[in-house]
Amino acid sequence: MHPILIDDIDQLRQRILASDAHDDRLRELWTLVKGSAQSAPFDFPWFTPFVALITRDPRDIANAAEVLRRYVGKLDSMYFSPGLQFHFWCFAFPHAKWCLYFQWLCTLGAFSDDEAQVLAAQLIEYHFVNFLYGLRTKPEPECVDNQALSLALSTTLVGYLFAQAPHHSAMAEIMRDEGLRRLPGIIGDMPPSGYSGEGSSYMDCVNGPAIPLAIELLQRITGQTDLLHRQLTPNGATPYSVLLMVAREWMPGGLLLPWDNYGYQFGVRAPLAYAARMTGEPLFADILQHECIWSYDIGTGWAYDDLVWTLIWWPAQLYTSDTPVSRSWYEPDIGGALVSTARHYYAMQMWDDSTPVVPTRAHVNPNAVLFNGYGVPLSADGSPTPQGTARFRFADTVRRVTFFTMGQEDEYNYGDGCGGAHSIMIVDGWEGLRMQTDAPQHATTSADLLHHTMVCDVAPTYQERWPDIVRMQRRTTLCADRFFIIEDVCVATQPHQWTTRFLVRPSFVAQPHGAKISTPEGVTLHLIPLLAEAPMYCEAVTGHPAKPDAACGIVDFVTEGTHHHQLTLAWIATTRRRGAAIRQLAAVADDADVLTLATARPLLAQSALRLDMRLPAHMEAAVPTVKRWWYYTSVAKPHDAAWLQLPLGMMNPQLWLDGVAIDLTPWAVSGELIAPHVPITAARDAVDTLEIVLCVDVPISHYEGGGDGTIGLNGGLWWVHPCAEETVVSWQLQTDQVHIQSSERTYVVPYHRAR
CA distance 657 to 719: 13
Cβ-based burial of 509 (10 A; exposed 0-12, middle 13-18, buried ≥19): exposed
CA distance 229 to 444: 28
Residues in contact with another protein, counted by CB under 8 A, come to a total of 64
Q: Give min distance, CB of 295 to another protein, in A.
A: 18
CA distance 213 to 206: 11
Of the listed pieces 137-145, 231-239, 614-622, 649-657, which binds another protein according to CB under 8 A? Answer: 137-145
Of the listed pieces 197-205, 301-309, 554-562, 613-621, which binds another protein according to CB under 8 A? Answer: 301-309
φ and ψ at residue 95, rounded to 5 degrees: -60, -40
Nearer to another protein among residue 413 and residue 500 (C-beta): 413
629 neighbors 592 (Cβ within 8 angstroms): no
CA distance 247 to 244: 5
Nearer to another protein among residue 82 and residue 666 (C-beta): 82
Summarize the chain as % helix, strand, coil (round to 5).
Answer: 35, 25, 40
Q: Is 303 in the site for another protein (CB under 8 A)?
A: yes
Q: Which residues of 299-312 are buried (b: 16+ CB within 10 A; e: fewer)?
A: bbbbbbbbbbbbbb
233 neighbors 188 (Cβ within 8 angstroms): yes
Q: Is 179 in the site for another protein (CB under 8 A)?
A: no
Angle at 581 between CA 673 and CA 663, to 5 degrees: 50
Q: Give min distance, CB of 586 to another protein, in A.
A: 36
In one-letter notation, the amino acid at residue 427 is V
Q: Is 386 in the site for another protein (CB under 8 A)?
A: no
- CB-CB neighbours of 681 under 10 Å: 12
Q: Is 734 in the site for another protein (CB under 8 A)?
A: no
Q: Give min distance, CB of 360 to another protein, in A.
A: 11
Q: Give min distance, CB of 121 to another protein, in A.
A: 4
Packed helices 113-137 and 58-78: angle between N→C axes, nearest 10 degrees: 40
CA distance 651 to 251: 24
- Reference 627, options 673, 593, 661; nearest CA is 593
- DSSP-based three-state secondary structure for 201: helix
Q: Where are the alpha helices (DSSP H) in 607-671?
A: 617-620
CA distance 741 to 731: 6
- Binds another protein by CB under 8 A, chosen from 386, 403, 606, 686: 403
Nearer to another protein among residue 406 and residue 660 (C-beta): 406
In one-letter notation, the amino acid at residue 497 is Q
Q: Is 341 in the site for another protein (CB under 8 A)?
A: no
Q: Is 80 in the site for another protein (CB under 8 A)?
A: yes
Q: Give min distance, CB of 135 to another protein, in A.
A: 11
Q: Give min distance, CB of 117 to another protein, in A.
A: 7
Q: Is 78 in the site for another protein (CB under 8 A)?
A: yes
Nearer to another protein among residue 707 and residue 750 (C-beta): 707
Q: How many residues does the chain have?
A: 755
- Binds another protein by CB under 8 A, chosen from 50, 91, 274, 329: 91
Nearer to another protein among residue 361 and residue 614 (C-beta): 361
Q: Is 262 in the site for another protein (CB under 8 A)?
A: no
CA distance 2 to 9: 7
Nearer to another protein among residue 17 and residue 78 (C-beta): 78
Q: How far apart are the first and last CA of the chain?
A: 68
Cα 242 to chain centroid, rounded: 15
- Binds another protein by CB under 8 A, chosen from 30, 47, 128, 329: 128
Of the listed pieces 191-199, 399-407, 485-493, 562-570, which binds another protein according to CB under 8 A? Answer: 399-407
- Binds another protein by CB under 8 A, chosen from 2, 22, 59, 136: 136
Nearer to another protein among residue 174 and residue 558 (C-beta): 174
In one-letter notation, the amino acid at residue 266 is F
SS (H, E, C) 2-22: CCCCCCCHHHHHHHHHHHHHC
Q: Give min distance, CB of 616 to another protein, in A.
A: 20
- Binds another protein by CB under 8 A, chosen from 14, 18, 58, 73: 73
- Binds another protein by CB under 8 A, chosen from 407, 409, 512, 659: 407
515 neighbors 527 (Cβ within 8 angstroms): yes
Q: Give min distance, CB of 587 to another protein, in A.
A: 30
Q: Is 137 in the site for another protein (CB under 8 A)?
A: yes
Nearer to another protein among residue 75 and residue 325 (C-beta): 75
Q: Is 567 in the site for another protein (CB under 8 A)?
A: no
Interface characters, 410-449, with another protein (x: CB under 8 A): ----------------------------------------
Query: How far are the Cα atoms of 98, 152, 160, 228, 305 from residue 214, in angstroms, in the given order?
Result: 16, 9, 12, 10, 16
Of the listed pieces 134-142, 225-233, 486-494, 633-641, which binds another protein according to CB under 8 A? Answer: 134-142
Q: Is 62 in the site for another protein (CB under 8 A)?
A: no
Q: Is 121 in the site for another protein (CB under 8 A)?
A: yes
CA distance 175 to 99: 13
Contacts of 226 (CB under 8 A, 6+ apart): none
Contacts of 659 (CB under 8 A, 6+ apart): 597, 691, 693
Nearer to another protein among residue 143 and residue 749 (C-beta): 143
Nearer to another protein among residue 398 and residue 661 (C-beta): 398
Q: Is 703 in the site for another protein (CB under 8 A)?
A: yes
Q: Give min distance, CB of 141 to another protein, in A.
A: 10
572 neighbors 344 (Cβ within 8 angstroms): yes
Q: Is 601 in the site for another protein (CB under 8 A)?
A: no
Cα 83 to chain centroid, rounded: 23
Q: Which residues, 704 to 733, sit near another protein by CB under 8 A?
A: 706-707
Q: Give min distance, CB of 697 to another protein, in A.
A: 20
Note the residues at the interface with another protein (CB under 8 A): 42, 45-46, 67, 70-85, 87, 90-91, 93-94, 117-118, 121-122, 124-125, 128-130, 132-134, 136-139, 142-143, 169-171, 173-174, 299, 302-304, 358, 399, 401-403, 406-408, 702-703, 706-707
